[in-house]
Amino acid sequence: MGKESSRIWIGSWLIVTLLLVGCKDSSVIYQDASVQIPALPQSARQPEPPPECLPSCLQNLTSWRARSLKVLTDLE
């Protein structure tokens, strides 16, 4: 029984040690200020969405589907 409790103690100690090493606060974060993301050229940018793609279009489509579903269920 002493050998088994010794294994449990060593395993517990190993887990706690790994958790403490992995969670330490003094980790170094390297940031290079000279690296910057360049702006996209105009040819790579998405065009403005057409007027039929406005957020109100989705609301209208949702209400149309609800009305259509009501009509179909009223037929039964």
Tens-digit pLDDT profile for the chain (76 aa)?
567 777 888 888 888 887 777 666 665 666 676 777 788 898 888 887 676 666 677 788 888 889 988 888 887 6
DSSP string covering 4-54, please?
HHHHHHHHHHHHHHHHHHHT-S-------TT--PPPPPGGGSPPPPPGGGS
Q: For residues 57 and 50, give the distance between their C-alpha atoms in angstroms, rounded to a whole number.
A: 11
pLDDT at position 33, please?
66
